[in-house]
């Protein structure tokens, strides 16, 4: 039975790679895959054990799949449509065994479709190949030279910060769950490359199925531990399978990566309402292991990925404005799929030092406690405490879905605060914020759409702008000293005039068709309020604290801070 | 043997909670800063006063009955003896700072405990002691917290309901305390039932606005934590907030009024905090704002009544 369309591409098994003892856990993934799928199916059957709930799950899955497939005109879709219509017809007359058998069949097919793969040969190949390709994209005139060996240049473009030694160390004791902010499809690639560069283990992660449509991307995703998440499939059963899958994988000690914001931040803002979704299964995984007597800690690592330019900025903000974040669709064709945007993207960083700063935050246990260098959970008074106490009552550990959901919500809040603290302010964000504040000052109280009409109408003398950039930067540095936020090296070290020049050069090249701002006879003209909004959104919550003391500036800053965004 | 129930705080409410738990057969550990004679026990349980906070770690459920300004300090101290297995529940009507942080937020950030909750509703000290039929609500995201409080004090005379809207319960409890204060004040000024009804209803609407802004659910305000609690105050359950309001209306100062009420009154500080919060996030809080100015002596009762009546009447 074929339920879902694409078949994973894999290398033929001519010579099996035998993992060495020092290899990361993920190198064993393939030998465990069938086991993992079986375990997922077993849990699903346990979950829908009652006859009514099995019937409900089948009906719900058939209903949602039929709705989805009816809109799909392909040949394969028709075939599957017949299958689901058959289920819907028969389910009422099925015996209990029949329902469970059908559920098992569907769950198995879905779990198999979700399950990822890890091929050490592809991993070794990719770790040599990726830096070359990324660097080549930055300098297409010298492709051969770049592909052959220039990881060095990429090193300079993607900077890493945070307690990396500690994360490396505790990853040996427990399972690390990386939970980064999400603003671009480049995120997983940049992060994957950085993990390898810093000697951190590769991770298992769920990637949207739309990323698997490109055969080359799909090949790498599939063989580097990614599992597929098809966001078009709305069936409750499918969501349970995804949860069970990620839980089993974490339980078994595979380091994992989740973007808890779900999709890329449409507004450019830092995610502040985290549902955690699949990442929440980290709490359950810890509890399940403990209840079985396995002491394997789970560590959540809040991570921010900070870009000076966001590859898909224009599409993302358009989408955000279209529905103000409510009815999102899955974007299939954006800047990510157009190679010329990649080239121009990487070419525009000359002079800004790092393209991207990936900052790892302090690891946390599933209950929001910090951990020490050895990975032991710490109470607020610095005492080592046993994380097992959180899932125990009167000394007995247990698994409790409602309790774990409550822990997950609480963890979401702690992670959102960590994102705020671990954000690294990039030069483009600083300049966009200062300019946007001026735009708001000039157009107080207008909504985003009304403000669009002021495209090209607001001019700010460059010398005033440079002064304000300097002052705002200094206030950011004070906040950084207080542990509230971080500032990129370029912002920290360069004179304000250089910051402005560097940012304008970067923008003018990349967002060429839609200039963000331009300079005309000594003044900066704000051209695109939306892109300004997008780039400054990471500073939104700090706006009142980094604004000047004069009344108009403060009013504008409060207005910016009050713009509630649905990430 | 099941673990004892701990009560932190030996004020009148803390002692009543200890008595209520002892009535249903619990072994109670009562900690108080100023040791006082042990309250009488009506049931099969027992009350033991303890002088050192770490002794309370023996309990699984700890009930906090201390004024909100002392919560942080006590949480720091007590937290050193606790871990993730302890359940913390408070009965405070206070909120902290101009961001209106709740007591449970303080407890879960300053102790290792995450399983926290708040006990609220039409619950007064005398009812607990005398065992009059009544009900209460416990807000907690954790089912075991609701269950544990119900086991500890619930019984034939006390129905304990549960909700996972902890934020709603805490904001409702705090702001109803403030409305009760206003009701006491208005009663002493001789306002009639119609006036009191408008004050109570619009006060609850204000509480709901603030609660929703902080992420609580409006439904909670229509339940025991909001309307239920407020109806008890209007019906005259002898609660200290109403008494405090009356004393203020008689012209007593804040300190003298608190002495008359016989308990710590959160409302005196709270009105100012709610007013600041309302200004910052853009929520209308005319009653809290007015009460803050009244208690600061910036406004007379007549001026406050006039100001409230002069507001344009809108759709409810």
Q: Does the pLDDT at position A218 exceed 70?
A: no
Nearest to B79 among A367, A381, A400 (CB): A381
Contact assignment for B141 to A406 by CB distance below 8 Å? yes
Considering only CB atoms, A393 lies closest to which of B85, B110, B282, namely: B85
Task: Give the lowest-confidence range in A29-33, A532-536, B201-205, B245-249.
Answer: A29-33
Strand partners, B116: B88
Are the Cβ atoms of B83 and A368 closer than 8 angstroms? Answer: no
CATH 1.10.1040.10 fits B167-310, yes or no: yes
Query: Is residue A46 within 8 angstroms of chain B, CB to CB?
Result: no
The per-residue pLDDT for A337 is: 54
Task: Report which of B57, B58, B18, B13 is spatially closest to residue B41, judged by C-alpha positions.
Answer: B18
Q: Are A420 and B171 in contact (CB under 8 A)?
A: no
A-chain residues within 8 Å CB-CB of B76?
380-381
Decide if A407 and B3 are in contact by the 8 Å CB cutoff: no
Token reading at A44: 């699903």
- Residue range B258-291, pLDDT digits in tens: 899 888 888 878 999 999 999 888 899 999 999 9
Mean pLDDT computed over B4-12: 93
Contacts of B110 in chain A (CB under 8 A): 380
Alpha carbon distance B142, A408 (integer Å) = 11
3-state secondary structure at position A258: coil
Give just the sign of the alpha carbon dihedral B215, B218, B220, B224: positive
The span from the CA of A366 to the CA of A380, in Å, is 15
- Nearest-CA distance from A437 to chain B in Å? 19
Domain pair B5-130 / B167-310, same fold:
no
pLDDT level of residue A508 (50, 70, 90 thresholds): confident
Pairwise CA distance, residues A299 & B23, whole Å: 44
Residue with tokens 């002493």, as numbered in its chain: B188
How close, in Å, is residue B80 to chain A by CA atoms?
Answer: 6
pLDDT at B226 over 90: yes
Between chain A and chain B, the number of residue pairs with CB atoms below 8 A apart is 63
Q: Which of A395, A402, A407 sits opposite B114 (nearest CB)?
A: A407
Of residues A367, A379, A386, nearest to B79 (C-beta): A379
SS3 of A383-412: CECCHHHHHEECCEECCCHHHHHHHHHHHH
CA A520 to chain centre: 38
**Of A181-195, A380-394, B285-299, minimum mean pLDDT range:** A181-195
User: For residue A123, what pLDDT band results from cuts at 50, 70 and 90?
Assistant: confident
Shortest Cα–Cα distance, A472 to chain B (Å): 22
Q: Which residue of A has its CA nearest to B60?
A: A394
User: Which of A280 and B153 is assigned the larger pLDDT?
Assistant: B153
Q: Tell me: the pLDDT tens digits for A290-333?
A: 999 999 999 999 999 988 877 667 777 776 666 554 434 444 45
Who among B2, B79, B143 is closest to A403 (CB)? B143
3-class SS at A236? helix
The closest of A224, A192, A201 to A22, measured between CA atoms, is A201
Q: Select from B2, B84, B142 the Cβ nearest to the Cβ of A406.
A: B142
pLDDT attached to residue A333: 52
Residues of chain B whose beta carbon is less than 8 angstroms from a beta carbon of chain A are 2-3, 60, 76, 79-80, 83-85, 108-112, 114-115, 141-144, 164, 282
Facing B60 at nearest CB: one of A394, A400, A402: A394
B-chain residues near A563 (CB < 8 A):
none
Residue A388's pLDDT is 96
A263 alpha carbon, distance to own chain's centre:
7
Reported as a single tens digit per residue, the pLDDT across A261-273 is 767 777 777 776 6
Q: Which ipTM score applies to this complex? A: 0.91
State the nearest Cα–Cα gap between A390 and chain B, in angstroms: 4
Whether B79 sits inside 8 A of A367 (CB atoms) is no
d(CA A526, CA A440): 11
Residues 6+ apart with CB under 8 A from A225: A26, A29, A116, A117, A118, A202, A203, A204, A205, A254
Give the containing element (helix H, strand E) for A357.
strand A356-360
Residues 361-420 of A with CB under 8 A from B: 367-369, 379-381, 383, 385-395, 400, 402-403, 405-407, 409-410
Q: Distance between CA B3 and CA A427 in Å, rounded?
A: 57
Instruction: Choose, out of B60, B82, B114, B162, the residue to mutate when testing the contact with A (most A CBs < 10 Å).
Output: B114
Shortest distance, CA A433 to any CA of chain B (angstroms):
22
Contact B112 A407 (CB under 8 A): no
Q: Is A96 exposed, middle or buried (0-12, 13-18, 19+ CB in 10 A)?
A: exposed
Nearest chain B residue to A381, by CA: B80
Query: Please, which residues have CB within 8 angstroms of residue B69's CB and are 6 or more apart in sequence?
Result: B94, B269
CA-based nearest residue in chain B for residue A555: B280
Whether A5 shows a pLDDT value over 50: the answer reads no
Contact assignment for B114 to A368 by CB distance below 8 Å: yes
Tokens of A309: 């330019």
pLDDT at A145 (0 to 100): 41
pLDDT over 70, % of chain A: 78
Q: Tell me which chain A residues have a C-beta less than 8 angstroms from the C-beta of B1.
A: none
Sort out which chain B residues have CB atoms less than 8 A from A400's CB and list them.
Answer: 143-144
Beta bridge partner(s), residue A461: A523
Residue B224 is encoded by which pair of tokens? 């025991």
| Chain B residues within 8 A of A407 when measuring between CB atoms | 114
CA-CA distance, A251 to A32, in Å (whole number)?
13
Cβ distance of A410 and B108 shorter than 8 Å: yes
User: Quick one: tokens of A103?
Assistant: 């559920």
pLDDT, residue B128, reads 83
pLDDT score of A537: 87
Mean pLDDT, residues B189-218: 94
What is the CA angle A98-A104-A108, rounded to 5? 150
CB contact under 8 A, A379 and B144: no
Instruction: Say if A198 is an interface residue toward chain B (CB within 8 Å).
Output: no
Give the distance from residue B133's alpha carbon to the nearest chain A alpha carbon, in angstroms.
31
A381, A394, A410: residue with CB nearest B114: A410
In B, minimum Cα distance to A368 occurs at B114
Q: How far is B140 from chain A (nearest CA, A)?
A: 9
pLDDT at site B109: 94
Model confidence at A414, in pLDDT bands (50, 70, 90)? very high
Which of A406, A544, A562 to mutate to probe the B interface, most B CBs <10 Å?
Answer: A406
Greater pLDDT, A348 or A472: A472
Query: Residue B97: is its pLDDT beyond 60?
Result: yes
User: What are the Cα distances from residue B71, in Å, to A548, B68, B102, B103, B269?
Assistant: 36, 5, 11, 7, 15
pLDDT at A149 over 70: no
Residue A419 tokens, joined = 């994102």
Q: Could you count the other beta carbons within 10 Å of the beta carbon of residue A499?
A: 23
Express each pLDDT in A424-434 by its tens digit.
999 999 999 99
Chain length of chain A = 567
Return the axis-axis angle of helices A281-291 and A401-422, rounded to nearest 10°.
130
Inter-chain residue contact A394 with B3, CB threshold 8 Å: yes
Residue A146 is predicted with a pLDDT of 39
CB-CB contact of B89 with B107 (8 Å): no
Q: Which pLDDT band holds residue A214 (cuts at 50, 70, 90)?
A: low
CA atoms within 13 A on the CB side of A347: 16
Binary contact (B114, A367; C-beta < 8 A): yes
Please answer yes or no on whether B80 and A406 come within 8 Å at the CB atom.
no
Cβ separation of B142 and A369 shorter than 8 Å? Answer: no
Q: Give the best-scoring range by mean pLDDT among A309-323, B40-54, B101-115.
A: B101-115
Helix locations, A224-304, DSSP H: 236-251, 281-291
CATH number of B5-130, picked from 3.10.520.10, 3.30.499.10, 3.20.20.70, 3.40.50.720:
3.40.50.720
A177, A204 in Cβ contact below 8 A? no
What residue spans define the domains of chain B?
Answer: 5-130, 167-310
Could you give phi then psi for residue A364, rounded to 5 degrees?
A: -125, 150
- Is B112 close to A369, i.e. CB distance below 8 A? yes
Using a CB-CB distance cutoff of 8 angstroms, which residues of chain A are in contact with residue B85?
A: 389-390, 392-395
Residue B159: φ, ψ to 5°: -90, 125
* Contact assessment for residue A406 and residue B142, using Cβ atoms and an 8 Å cutoff: yes
Say how far residue A389 (Cα) sits from the centre of its chain. 30
């Amino acid at each position: 039975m074929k339920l879902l369309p694409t078949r994973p591409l894999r290398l033929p098994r001519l010579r099996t790679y035998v993992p060495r003892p020092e290899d990361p856990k993920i190198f064993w993934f393939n030998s465990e895959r069938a086991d993992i799928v079986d375990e997922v199916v077993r849990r699903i059957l346990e979950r829908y054990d009652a006859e009514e709930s099995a019937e409900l799950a089948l009906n719900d899955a058939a209903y949602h799949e039929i709705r989805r497939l009816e809109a799909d005109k392909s040949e394969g879709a028709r075939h599957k449509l017949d299958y689901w219509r058959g289920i819907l017809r028969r389910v009422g007359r099925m015996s209990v065994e029949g329902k469970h058998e059908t559920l098992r069949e569907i769950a198995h097919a879905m779990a198999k479709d979700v399950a990822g793969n890890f091929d050490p040969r592809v991993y070794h190949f990719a770790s040599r190949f990726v830096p070359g390709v990324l660097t080549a994209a930055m300098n297409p005139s010298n492709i051969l030279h770049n592909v052959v060996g220039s990881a060095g240049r990429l090193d300079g473009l993607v900077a890493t910060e945070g307690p990396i030694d500690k994360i490396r160390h505790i990853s040996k004791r427990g399972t690390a769950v990386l939970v980064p902010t999400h603003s671009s499809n480049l995120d997983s690639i940049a992060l994957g490359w950085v993990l390898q560069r810093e000697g951190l283990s590769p991770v298992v992660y769920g990637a949207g199925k739309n990323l698997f449509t490109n055969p080359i991307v799909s090949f790498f995703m599939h063989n580097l531990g990614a599992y597929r998440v098809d966001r078009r499939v709305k069936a409750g059963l499918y969501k349970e399978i995804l949860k069970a899958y990620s839980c089993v994988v974490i339980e078994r000690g595979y380091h994992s990566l989740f973007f808890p914001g779900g999709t890329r931040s449409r507004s450019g803002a830092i995610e502040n309402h985290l549902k955690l979704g699949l990442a929440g299964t980290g709490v359950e995984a810890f509890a399940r292991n403990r209840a079985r007597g396995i002491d394997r800690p789970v560590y959540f690592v809040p991570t921010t990925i900070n870009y000076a330019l966001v590859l898909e900025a224009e599409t993302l903000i358009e989408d955000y404005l279209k529905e103000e974040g409510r009815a999102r669709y899955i974007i299939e064709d954006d800047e990510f799929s157009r190679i010329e945007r990649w080239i121009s993207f990487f070419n525009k960083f000359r002079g800004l030092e790092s393209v991207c700063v990936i900052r790892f935050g302090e690891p946390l246990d599933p209950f929001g406690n910090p951990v020490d260098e050895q990975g032991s959970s710490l109470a607020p008074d610095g005492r080592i405490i046993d994380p097992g106490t959180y899932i125990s009552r009167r000394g007995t550990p247990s698994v409790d879905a409602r309790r774990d959901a409550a822990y997950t919500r609480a963890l979401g809040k702690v992670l959102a605060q960590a994102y705020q603290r671990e954000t690294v302010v990039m030069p483009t964000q600083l300049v966009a914020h200062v300019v946007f504040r001026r735009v708001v000052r000039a157009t107080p109280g207008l909504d985003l759409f009304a403000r669009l009409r002021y495209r090209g109408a607001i001019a700010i003398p460059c010398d005033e702008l440079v002064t304000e950039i300097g002052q705002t930067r200094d206030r950011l540095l004070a906040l950084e000293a207080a542990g509230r936020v971080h500032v990129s090296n370029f912002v920290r070290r360069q004179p304000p005039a250089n910051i402005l020049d560097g940012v304008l050069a970067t923008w003018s090249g990349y967002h060429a068709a839609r200039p963000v701002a331009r300079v005309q006879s000594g003044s900066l003209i704000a051209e695109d309020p939306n892109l300004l909004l997008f780039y400054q959104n990471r500073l939104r919550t700090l706006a009142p604290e980094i604004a000047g003391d004069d009344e108009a500036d403060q009013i504008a800053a409060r207005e910016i801070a009050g713009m509630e965004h649905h990430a | 043997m099941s673990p004892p129930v701990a009560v932190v705080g030996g004020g009148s409410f803390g002692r009543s909670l200890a008595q209520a738990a002892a009535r249903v057969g619990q072994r109670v550990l009562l900690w108080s800063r100023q040791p006082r004679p042990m309250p009488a026990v009506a049931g099969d349980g027992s009350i033991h006063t303890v002088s050192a906070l770490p002794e309370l770690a023996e309990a699984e459920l700890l009930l906090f009955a201390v004024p909100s300004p002392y919560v942080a300090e006590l949480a720091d101290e007590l937290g050193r003896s606790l871990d993730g297995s302890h359940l913390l529940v408070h009965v405070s009507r206070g909120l902290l700072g101009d961001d209106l942080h709740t007591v449970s937020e303080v407890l879960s950030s300053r102790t290792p405990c995450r399983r926290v909750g708040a006990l609220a509703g039409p619950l007064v000290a005398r009812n607990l002691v005398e065992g009059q039929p009544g009900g209460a609500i416990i807000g907690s995201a954790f089912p075991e917290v609701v269950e544990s409080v119900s086991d500890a004090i619930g019984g034939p005379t006390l129905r304990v309901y549960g909700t996972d809207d902890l934020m709603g319960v805490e904001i409702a409890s705090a702001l109803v305390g403030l409305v009760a204060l206003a009701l006491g004040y208005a009663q002493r000024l001789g306002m009639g039932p119609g006036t009191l009804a408008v004050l109570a209803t619009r006060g609850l609407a204000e509480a709901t606005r603030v609660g929703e802004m902080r992420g609580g659910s409006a439904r909670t305000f229509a339940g025991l934590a909001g309307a239920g609690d407020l109806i008890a105050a209007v019906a005259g359950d002898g609660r200290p907030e109403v008494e405090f309001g009356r004393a203020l209306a008689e012209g007593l100062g804040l300190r003298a009024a608190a002495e008359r009420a016989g308990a710590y009154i959160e409302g005196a500080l709270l009105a100012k905090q709610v007013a600041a919060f309302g200004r910052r996030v853009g929520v209308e809080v005319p009653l809290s704002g007015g009460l803050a100015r009244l208690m600061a002596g910036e406004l007379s009762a007549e001026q406050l009544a006039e100001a409230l009546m002069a507001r344009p009447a809108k759709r409810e």
